[in-house]
Each structure stands twice: as C-alpha cells, then as structure tokens.
Chains A and B, each alone.
Chain A
Amino acid sequence: MSCSEEEFRRRLRCRGLLRLLIGVFFLAVGLLRTDAAEQPVSFVNDVVPLLTKAGCNVGVCHAKAGGGQKGFQLSLLGFEPQEDFESLTKESRNRRLFFGSPDQSLLLLKASGQMPHGGGVRLAATSEGYALLRQWIREGAALDSAAAPKLVSFEVQPARGSIKRGGEQQLQAIAKYSDGSVRDVTNMALYESNDKAMADVSERGLVKISEIVGNVAVMVRYQAKVSVYSASVPLGAPVENLPSSKNFVDELVFANLKALGIPPSVLCDDATFLRRVTLDIGGRMPTEEESAAFLAGKDAGKRDKVIDELLRSPDYADFFANKWTALLKNRRDDESDTVSNFAFHAWVRDSFLANKPYDQFVRELLAATGTVIGNPPVAWYKRVKEPKQQIEDVAQLFLGVRMQCAQCHHHPFERWSQDDYYSLVAFFSQVGRKPSGTRGEDLIFHKRGIAVAPNMKTGVPLKPGALGDAIPEIAADEDPRLKLADWMGSKTNPFFAKSLVNRYWKHFFVRGLIEPEDDIRDTNPPTNPALLEALEKHFVASGFDLKDLVRVITQSQAYQLSEVPNQHNIVDRQNYSRYYPRRLQAEVLLDAIDRLAGTQTDFANLPPGTRAVALPDNSYNRSSQFLRVFGRPEAESVCECERVQSSSLAQSLHLLNAAELKAKLAAATGRAERLAKEDKPVESKIRELYLAAFSREPRPQELKTALDYLNEPGTVANANYQDLIWALINTKEFLFNH
C-alpha cells in the first residue's frame, strides 16, 4: 500500500492509461488499489472510501438518520469508521460477512445485485471494488491497528488553472498518510462543481468546461478532507475602453474583466441609474419630480448626491428592514405575536435609520436581554428558541457558514466537526428565561454559570468555541453571547464582515461574489477573491458602516454599467461586466404599481398609505394574493432564497387580468381617472406616465403610439389611460430593475 515519493511518481506516470482500462470494468465506481497484493486491506483507508465512492453511506441510503436502510446503518460519508466497522462485522447477527465463503457475504451479494437491493448494483461482481471487499473479508475483516497509517492531508492537482471555453482538465487527487506514503485516489475521490452550468466534472475527475466565461471551482472530497480546483475560463476578447475607476471596486472588477478578456458594457444613462439606485437603496420608484429634477440636473456629482440622499431617507431604513426582518424570522404565527413583531421590525428599521454599526446591531440581537417592549431584539428569542437553532441561524446569517450538518456528523464539505457545532451551541447555553407579564413572552437574561454544551454524540461537555478560534475562558458571570459578539466583531474575524459584504454585493449586483451568499467555505471560493477581500477590509475599516458600504458599492462605475450587453459580454454571468436585470421584489413591485396607478393598497390595521416594503411581518401575505404570487417570504428561513424571484404563469396572469390590478387601474382616485379629467396636453400626460413608470421621457415612437391610442376616436378617455398604464406595467422595463 505504501510507497516512496519517487516510486509514487513513477507509478503515477504510467498509471493514467491503466486506470482508464481498469475503470472500464467498474460498473458503478472506479477503484484503484495498485498494491493490493502487498498489504492487507485497510478498513479505514480502503473499505470506507470504497463505500463512500459507491454511494453506500450517503444521507438517502445507509447513512440515513434513524437506522439507515433496512437496519443497516453506516456513518455519513464514512466519517465514523469505527461505527461502520461495528455495523458491518457485528450487527445483524454477523450475517453481513461470511468468512467461510466471502462471495456469499450479504454485503457483496447485495452490493453486486446478486440479491435484491433497493439501492441497485453498486459494485459489479467483476469490479475491483468487489474484489477489494472480498479480499478484506477473506483476510478476516479486520479493523486497522492503531499503528496503521492515517490520512493526514489531501490535495487536488492542479489546484488552479486557466481553461479555454469547451476545454477539459483531468484532475488528480493525492492523499498523504501519516507514515509518509502517498496515494493517488483520483478514482476514489468525490467531485462537485460549484457552477454546473460552467463546468461539469465526471466521477473520475475529468472537468469539462462549457461556453460560459468566468471562474469556477470543483470541490474534491476524500474521506474527511476536501480540496478545491479553481479554474478561470477567459473569454479572451480585447478589453480596451474601460470606464475610469471611481474606487477600489472598479479597480478590482475591471482587473478581473481584463484578466478574463471580457469587455464591460458602457455606463448606464441617468434615468436608468436613478431608477436602479432608488429601487436598490430605497426600495421604491423615483417620483416623477425626482426623475425630472435628476434628468435636468447638470451637476457632475449628481449621482453621488442622490445616493447620499437615498441613504439619509427613511426609505432606505424601511427597505433594508424589510430584507432583514424576513431573514430574522419576524413571523406572525398568532395574533399575540403582533406587538413583538412590530417592536422587532421597528428596532431593525430604526437601527438602519440611525446607521447603527453592523457589529453593534448583531451584538444587540445576539446578546439581547429583558423584555420585548423594553428591548425589542429579545423578540428573536421568542421565535428562535432552541440554542441549536440559534447557532445555526447565527452562523448562516451572520457568518455565512452552514452548520446544520455538523449537528449530527462531520460537515461533508467543510472542516466543521460536531465539536465545532456544540462549542458554538455553548455560547447560548446560559440564556435564562422567566415569565413576563405578557402571555407567550419570556424575559431573557444571562443565567450565571459556566457555559457548556455536550456533544450529542460523545456526551463530552464543550466550552464555547468559535469555529476553530480559541475563546478565552468565560467566567460564570459573564454572558458568553457577548464573547461571541466580541469574536464576530473583531477585525480579524474571517467570516463576519465577509459574509455581510457578500450579501450586500448580491443585493446590488444580483449575484454574490460567493454563491449561495450564505455558504462561505474553502470549497466554494469567490469569483473575485481580491474584490471580496477588499470589500471586507473596507467594511471593517469603516467600523462596520453599512451606509458606507452601500455608498462605495453604488458609487462604483461597475454598479453603474448598462444592462445592455455588448457583442462579447452576453456570456458573462458572474463577473459584473454588465448589470444583471432582476425582477422587482413583490413588495417593491406592488408599491410601484400603486405609485403608477395613483392608488394605495390597504393593509389591515395599518395607516392608509403604508407601503408594502414597510410591512412589519409576513402576516399581510395572507390577505395579499399579489405578495404571495410574487414571492414575498414567510420569514421561515434565514436564507434569502426563501424569497421567490423566479417568474411564473401565475405572475403573468396576475399582471394581465387580476381583479386587484384592474381595481387599481380603475380607482376613482387613481391616476387614470385624474389624467382623463385633467385639462392639460395629452403629451404631457404621457410624459408624466413614462417618468412615473420608467423615470425617463417617452421615446418619439412611444409617444406617437400612446398619442394615437389615447386620441382614438370613440373611446373613453379614462379607459384609455387605464389601458396605457396597464401596458406600461406589463413591460419588462417596468417589472425589472435594470
């Protein structure tokens, strides 16, 4: 099994072809064990990886929680070899292995399909994998001795590279063991592309690149180790007329585009910019007055000024509160949640209005104490009650780390173990509760005591630990949540600022530098690492100033590029060479329609005129079909993916002929009615409508078409204006931020 480095290299050179030949005989998996005759089969280093590659120990098969399949339980992805060994050799009255005649072992009969097997044929009887297992049984099905070599590191070769569109790259997976031996485990490793549209990867590590340009990564897993191959797929077009850089965002975006040979689109016009930035910061359309004034303005710095104005406005606070309250699960399950939900929403909204530093905002939430009315972030503890749920939400939302898997087993894609999970839980182990004067609400306080949480599997009590970082001893009377907040807010925290800037980048650029935005891990690298790092540094240096972050992003030329592609960058989906249009969010769209139609949507028990983006919780979804159809989240998850941004037939039908929309168009106090009655030139009315809908003047052809329609003899003016507004609403230009 083991060999010297030199021997290893020699074998490696001649093994490519051999591997291919042997692979032909593998029905389900490819297995390579060149030195089988030299060493007894290792359960940990041979059998378990084989079972993993064959897919036996995945979550839907024998690693399924609660007993596996048909009573045969394996640990997920073989993270617990000892348990797997027990399972194979001792459980089920030892009938899984038949030492007298290994081929009659239940394990082999089922895996090879010689006996009925729900999972189908996983190892053909002719495969080397089958032979390996048979050999292991023949040798007595032993567990590795304590002195057996252990996997110490794992890497993929090459680690990075540049591949042409349509090109291929064979990856090689190398495992190193504690005895200094090295193995090529290419055929035993597992591969996964982080963007399947860009790169597909075979079971044997052959990467095939599509026509999409940019950066892509392939995660390679072997036992509990992971490694990443990063590929750059350049377009190679000439990049000559880059816009001048306004700040570091531009420098890094344009540098990436230059490296990839993707020429960016031109800068967008003023009307597009105003509409885009007002929607992205204020969650609303610009008013006709704002549009007219902005378009008429000659000030060279007017774009920066409008950004500042929007950041000062309560609209910014309303819009971002709407975003965050959904992520923080401000959900109404019962009428008695009303006060706490309003209070919580208001706290979030006021925090953004006051531009509370982000670390302080998170600190107030994590370490909230008292009553909901006295300290509204306490409401989070009303909805997220269990420490496990608390750390999972905190990790995903504020650190971009998904810890859920590590509750029961080692994280399959990450370095997080169950100890890491329960060490994080320990931060919340001293949250005390006592009844308040309000039914269903607890007073939250720090309960004196040494914070510990037992590892569910081992039972070992664990002190607070923060994802691999040591936390100084926490005294019994110190609230560990404050220590967690300290750690998160430290300038060197590798997750906290990164997660936020990535989330905000996605807010403005549609796509995060890391996707999904809350799945930051070594195996899921950013598309522009330098930019992510620079944003992170800037955010930390600013004192976690959210408005400043928004400012630096939206002031960049990169943000202000046109959505119209040039002849080259149509293939770009991740490098921000153009603005990626996005359908307006449900609330924003409803408000936009109301503004254009001159109406108000009535929300129960809220003041008339309350905008949809200012709604405090999800309860209004029940009464608003519009909000449901257009995907307003129910605040059940910390994932932004709960908001449905995809299009559907229901949405189209709703916009075409929903009674709600018709009522808005025909409202007695609506814009159509007013315009029909107003004594002013029709052209000016059309201009008003275009400014309201698109923040721009109508183009000559548009003006003519509208004029013709409105002046059609024998038609009713009011109905014509309703039709025109309806038509404007149903344009992509209206429905999308572009």
Chain B
Amino acid sequence: MTDFVCYSRCRSMLLAALVCGAFASVSFAQSVGLPAPRLLTTTPMGAKIGSQVEVTISGESIEDADELMFFDRRITAARKLNAAGQAEPKKYVVSIAADCPIGIHEARVMTRLGISSSRAFCVGTLDEAVQTKPNTTLATAMELKVNSICNATMTQRAVDHYVFEAKKGQRVIVDCATRGIDSKLDATVIVADAAGRDLLVERRGGVLDFIVPADGKYVIKVHELTFKGGQAYYYRLGLWELPVGAPIVRLPSTKPVNSFSWPPQGLKEQAELAEVEPNSDRTKAQKISLPCDIAGSFFPAADVDVFEFEAKKGDVWWVEVASERFGLPTDPSILVQHVARSGDVEKLTDVAEFSDIPSPVKVSSNGYAYDGPPYNAGSADILGKLEIKEEGLHRLQITDLFGGTRNDLKNVYRLVIRKAAPDFAVVAWALHMELRNGDRNAVSKPLALRGGATMALEVLAIRRDGFDGDIDLVMEGLPEGVTASGLKIPAGQSRGLMLVTANQNAPRAVGSGTFFGRATINGEVVTRTCRLASHAWPIPDSWGEIPSPRLMADVPVSVSGLEFAPLTLTPPKEVQTVTAGEKLTIPLLHTRRSEFSGAVLQLRAMGAGFDRAPQFDVSLTADQSQAVLDTAALKTAPGDYLIAFYGGAVAKYRHQPEAIVAAEETHKKAVQELMAIEAEVKKLTEAAKAAASEAKPEADKAVEAVTAKQKAAAAAVAAAAEKIKQATAAAQPRDIVDIVVSEPIKIRVNPAEKK
C-alpha cells in the first residue's frame, strides 16, 4: 500500500510522470472505454405524425437489441415480424401518434449492455419518402414531390439527384437536415435547371429559397462538401411550397451544448422591445430605460445597434445576450460608454466591454492527447456585470464580431439588461481523463452501467448575476440497484461531478432519470434541470474527427444485468471521519472480474476538498488497498465531503464469454441430434435393404427422408461449431482502457481541537 503522503511533492510529480509514461505506453492507440451500445442510424430518420413506418437500425454493440425506445411515449416501436412470426433483426415498426409533437425525438435501443446512445428521430407534417436506389446521375434522378421529405444516405464521391416539377412564380423552399439530426454530412445543396446546370447553391447549412423562373422540371443536387459518404452521411431533404413573404421554418434540429444556459429563469418568450432601425450611430441611438429586454437583428452587414439609457452612479446591472446559443453563427459584442455632453461635444468614457461567456474549464484543443472536454459550456454570447460609475447618459452598442460582411436577417439576438437575479444553469457529460490517446469514445458513452460499475459525469455550471453558492447535484428516478451521488459544485467554483453506481446485483433495467442542480439562492431552494451533452458519433481518433456535440433531451440510465465492471473499488459505506490537519486512511475493497495489463492502477481523487490530493498507486492484483489523505497538506476545512477515486486501467476485456458456453451447449445438442439421426439412417437403410419388394418403395422413401434430416442436422452442427468459433474469437481478451471510478466516499472533517 502506498502512503503517498510520504513522498515529497517533487518526487511524487516525478513518479507520476514516470508512471504516466509507462501507462501511456500501454494506452497508446488502445481503445478507451469498454464497449457501449450505440445506435448510429435509423432508416428512415423520421416520419410523419399519425403514421406508421418501418425503421431499420444500425450501430455498435447493438446486435442483440430488442427494444427500440423513444423518449416521447407518443412514439412507439415493435419488432418487425417476418412471415413466420419471428422478429426480423434490426427492423422495427414505429408508430407516431397524431398528437406527437413535431421536432426531434431521441431514439435508443435496449441491449444486453443496456441502453444505447441516442439518435435523433424527426417527426414532421410533410409526406416522407426514402431513397431506395442510387440517384447519382441526372438520368437516375429520383422524383421528389413538392411538400415532401426524402430520407437518404450519401454515397461517397457522388452527387445525389432529385427532380421536381414547379410552376413559374412558385416559391419553393429546399432544406436539408444533416448535422442537426446527428449526421456527419456537411451538405451542399444545389437547385439546377432540368439540364442539371446550377442555378442556386447553398453550402453553409442554410436553406434555399427558390422562386421558380418558368414552368418545368428542376433538379436538386445534394453532395457532401468534400464528397464523403457512407452510412454516417445521411440527410433529410425537405422540399415544400411557401407563400411569398411567409417566414421560413427550418427542419428541426438538435440544440448546441451551450444552449443549456439559455434562457434565464422566467424570461418571457417574446421580448418586450424590438430594436428599431436606424439605430446604427449615436445620432440615431434608440432610447431605452433599464431594465430592458430587446429583440434585435445583426442586419445588415456590419450592423451596429446603438441604445441610450440614463443610469445612476452605483447602480449594478447584469447584461445578457443570446444569439450564438440560438445555434446562430454569431459572436455578439457590447460596448457601454458614459456620455458627457458639453454643447455639441461629447466626451465618451468606456464603462464596460462584454464579449464571450468563458468556458468554466479548459476546452479540448482537439489534439491527439486529451487536454480537456470537447464540449464548450461557454459561449460567444454575453453575460456580464455592468457597474455604473458615473451618473447620466450611457450608450450601449451591440455588434456581431462575425457580421462584418454578412447580410442575413436570421442572425438575431436577444438583449436583456436586468437587476441581479442570481441563478445558475448546469450541464453534464461523461467524464474522460487525461490520456495520451486519441480515443474520445468515453465522452459520449451512454449511461449504460455494468453491474458493479460507477460512471462519472462532469458537471459544469454557468453562474448568473453573481450567484456564488454551493450547487448540489441530484439525480433521481433511477432503476433498481442504481444510486447517484453528486459531488457538489462548491461555492465560487463551476465544476462538480455526478457518480452513478450500479451495484453488482442490480437487475437489467432502464429508467428515465431526472438530473438537477440544487442551490439556495436568497434563502430559497431552487432546482435547475441539468442537461446531458453527448457527441453524435463516437470518436475513436480525435486527430481525424471534428467533434459534433449536442444536448440530449433526457437522462436515461440502464443496467446491463449481464455484464459486470472489470474492477469495483468499494470504500466503507459509513462516513469516514478525520480531524482537520490529520491524515485519513480509507480502506478500499477490490472486486476484480477481469485480468489487467500492468500491475498497478494509478488513482487520483475527485470531489471538492480533496481533488488536489496527489496521485497514488494501488495494486491491480491485490484484493484491498488503502488511500491516505492528508488534510493538513490539502488544507481541507472542517465539513462534510463526498469524494471518489478514479484512474485508468487496461482491462483484458472479454466480450460475452458466456456466449461460448451457450454455443458449446447448442453444439453439443446438435451433435447428439445428428448422432441420433445417423443411427436412424443406418437402421432404416438396413431395413430398406431387407424390405420385400412391395415394401421397398416405402422403405426407400423413409431412408430418403431421414437422410435429408441427417443433412440438416449436420448443417446445424457446422453452424453451431461456427458459432463457437465466433464466440470464442469475440471473447478473446482485448486490451481496453477502462476508466475505473470508486464508489463514493463520505468524509467528515472535524475541527481540530484548540490547544
């Protein structure tokens, strides 16, 4: 057992570096995270309300998926049965109720390993079509009716062609849902004439608004920006008619991660005020009074919106702008100046400048080694404090730092200036750890727990208007045998953790959890929903993949019931007490269910008060270990704490070894059956030989029948043998880095006795 406190700081750092190096050498290019079920595609990717549609799925570790589930219960799915009444693999019949909300719904499958990751499934009002054959030339263009949507998959190095008919003057909208429905496709959409000559092109994820110049046929061409293709590059191509002048409503899309912090609690859906142009310079400043809530637009190019208000010295206001969090490609910036006038001369004094909402933690640089989460809880939007230093007229100007040359009315903003309304918003994602490894699968794994596993979620808060208190993290509605322990976001900080633990005996189940942060603000307890974020696709190689994070609509938690964590670190259930300034020794019980590469597991602490504790090693072959925490070195103040230990271990993971036994059993039965049939063949053959001539035909017939049975039984034996082979191959140990998280540990630090 390592008493890590004994090491000097330098020595422990050196050791850590050495161990890291050793660890890195084994983790280099290894997979990170045990296999997790991931639903990657549904075909089609959506359906019309009130309809029933056959859906085919694909994904990773979902071969044994049984149930296709939707967050909204107004969408249901049943296995598709073949003529013999048997369920067809990967096929479901999905029914969408007439009252199902239009938009994106989360689809998942329940598997042997638990609930899968989500795939966006769209529900709309237009007729749906599916691309059924290649349409990569003008000659093979697929006919698409106006007011319909086509679900399609892009072929690599190809351009999909559609043809539609329209009348002169008709306004036709062409929209292509891709990234917003979890696809990897960066679509180029082109409206061309009947000969395929380009008329209108959109490559930035926008919509094509096409006024038809003459009666006739027109072509829509779709391709990936760099002509990539394959299963992950799917799209929904919408084509509908719209009256001239009517606003365009885009196909639904998932929400960006940073939208979790918008809107502030209680904000009205519609702003009270609208920006009124012209207000682009000081002579045309729009007069407002504080507080205010204004809707505006960064239009036209290089638009500057100027507002003027009176304010009193010493007043404190909070300024918040949302625009990027609407999913827009904007970067709002605000300058507030005090205006002192003397005749026609103005003296301007900068009071405040606002730009981005910084991420509370370092965001990934998208390099090879992990150096932070590939999620940005911050935003290009604005949230800041405005302190009035001088009485009088103030001028606020808002611009879009990205809008210098762009003329797009859709780039809107909402500006709120309010008195302090302390609050917070929280978001969470699966915890990853610093590894010199490009595999980022861990950051998007579903909450599909193996028995005995603890999974950690990293939780970040955006604090509003000066709220600085503790934020407790709570998860409820969990399946039987699953517990959740929030490692709070301490006062003044923005990061916490949520540990979700399935005990070893937890039965196979799935539940829809509720996850929230809870804090006391101005004497009142408030709770705020914590949104989960994930990536649309697993990222086995961060060097070659641009992350595509989004918010999830729900928090499903499941237990496999069939597979177990390679290692469980169990601390005592009771509260561990220590006097401030003393060392606390915590025994850890190791429950090992797998072999590991390497001899030691390097652990570090997580949880406020102890997360700066030095790393320490525990043996991967021992049945127990101890952690020693020095409250003197950590300067941990008296109080109650919840912590855990975590580290990365290279498990010799074996996939479904029980499948070998089952396959062997099947094989054994098949062999027995074959032997029995062979005996029967022998018997009947001899009988046929001995049969009298009149009975001969009957006897031969019997031989023939049993010989056919023999052939079938032999084939069954061969198939069973193949199954054994496959199961054995799948169960061969594979080195996979598993992020091992201990069960939570309650610690009470008592005040030291005064001498």
Contact = CB atoms under 8 A, between A and B. Distances in A.
A606 to B, nearest CB: 6
Interface string B159-187: 10000000000000000000000000010
B401 interface: yes
Contacts of A343: 203, 225
B404 A479 contact: yes
Contacts of A479: 302, 404
A443 B404 CA distance: 14
A544 to B, nearest CB: 15
Contacts of A370: 329, 331, 402, 406
Given A477-B397, A605-B157, A339 B226 contact: yes
Contact of A437 (B159, B226, B405, B547): B547
Interface stretch (A90-98, A183-191, A360-368): A360-368
B197 interface: yes
Contact of B227 (A367, A376, A482, A606): A606
B329 A374 contact: yes
Contacts of B203: 343, 346-347, 350, 376
Contact of B157 (A313, A342, A377, A606): A606
B25 interface: no
A477 B282 CA distance: 13
A437 B546 contact: yes
Contact of A373 (B204, B366, B376, B406): B204
Interface residues of B, number: 42
A605 B226 contact: yes
B672 interface: no
Contact of A353 (B186, B198, B227, B302): B198
Contacts of B198: 314, 317, 353
Nearest to A338: B226
A446 B186 contact: no
Interface in A375-421: 375-377
Interface in A277-324: 312-314, 317
Contacts of B399: 477
A608 interface: yes
A375 B329 contact: yes
Interface string B655-692: 00000000000000000000000000000000000000
Interface of A (DSSP majority class): mixed
B713 to A, nearest CB: 50
A413 B197 CA distance: 47
B333 interface: yes
Nearest to A608: B157
Given A363-B405, A375-B406, A438-B546, A342 B366 contact: no
A481 interface: yes
A379 to B, nearest CB: 12
B223 A607 contact: yes
Nearest to B206: A374
Contacts of B225: 339, 342-343, 346
Which of A312, A432, A445 gathers most chain B CB within 10 Å?
A445
A371 interface: yes
Interface string B361-387: 001011100000010100000000000
A477 B303 CA distance: 12
B561 interface: no
Contacts of A373: 186, 204-205
Contacts of B405: 363-364, 367-369, 375, 377, 482
B366 A437 contact: yes
Contact of A346 (B188, B333, B403, B406): B188
B367 A439 contact: yes
B401 A446 contact: yes
B622 to A, nearest CB: 41
Contacts of B546: 339, 437-439
Given A438-B366, A438-B546, A477-B399, A448 B329 contact: no
Contacts of B197: 312-314
B358 to A, nearest CB: 11
A71 interface: no
A435 interface: yes
B158 interface: yes
Which of B186, B331, B543 gathers most chain A CB within 10 Å?
B331
Nearest to B546: A438
Contacts of B227: 605-607
Interface in B289-338: 302, 304, 329, 331, 333, 335
Contacts of A606: 157, 227
Interface in B222-262: 223, 225-228
Contacts of B397: 477
Contacts of B363: 435
A343 B329 CA distance: 16
A312 B193 CA distance: 12
Contacts of B595: none
Contact of B404 (A342, A354, A481): A481
B188 A339 contact: no
A446 B188 CA distance: 28
Interface string B603-621: 0000000000000000000
Given A353-B201, A439-B367, A482 B404 contact: yes
A375 B402 contact: yes
B542 to A, nearest CB: 8
Interface string A316-356: 01000000000000000000001100110011001001100
A696 to B, nearest CB: 25
Given A338-B226, A606-B157, A369 B365 contact: no
Interface in B392-436: 397, 399, 401-406
Nearest to A439: B366
Contacts of A435: 363, 365
Interface in A671-703: none
A364 B204 CA distance: 15
B353 interface: yes
Contacts of B374: 437
B641 to A, nearest CB: 35
Contacts of A608: 157
A339 B186 contact: yes
A432 B355 CA distance: 13
B157 A448 contact: no
B402 A374 contact: yes
Nearest to B186: A373
A421 to B, nearest CB: 24
B335 A350 contact: no
Contacts of B156: 605
A700 B283 CA distance: 79
A540 B30 CA distance: 61
Nearest to A343: B225
A607 B157 CA distance: 4
A375 B405 CA distance: 10
A318 B407 CA distance: 25
A611 to B, nearest CB: 14
B226 A369 contact: no
A369 B402 contact: yes
Contacts of B376: 437
Contact of B333 (A367, A371, A377, A448): A448
Contacts of A605: 156-157, 226-228
A432 B205 CA distance: 25
A347 B302 CA distance: 20
Nearest to A347: B203
11 contacts: A346-B203, A353-B198, A369-B402, A370-B331, A375-B406, A432-B401, A448-B333, A477-B335, A477-B399, A605-B226, A607-B158
Given A314-B197, A314-B198, A342-B225, 8 more contacts: A369-B405, A376-B203, A376-B204, A435-B365, A443-B402, A477-B304, A605-B157, A607-B136
Interface of A: 312-314, 317, 338-339, 342-343, 346-347, 350, 353-354, 363-364, 367-371, 373-377, 432, 435, 437-439, 443, 445-446, 448, 477, 479, 481-482, 605-608
Minimum-distance CB pairs A-B, first 5: A374-B329, A370-B402, A445-B401, A439-B366, A369-B402
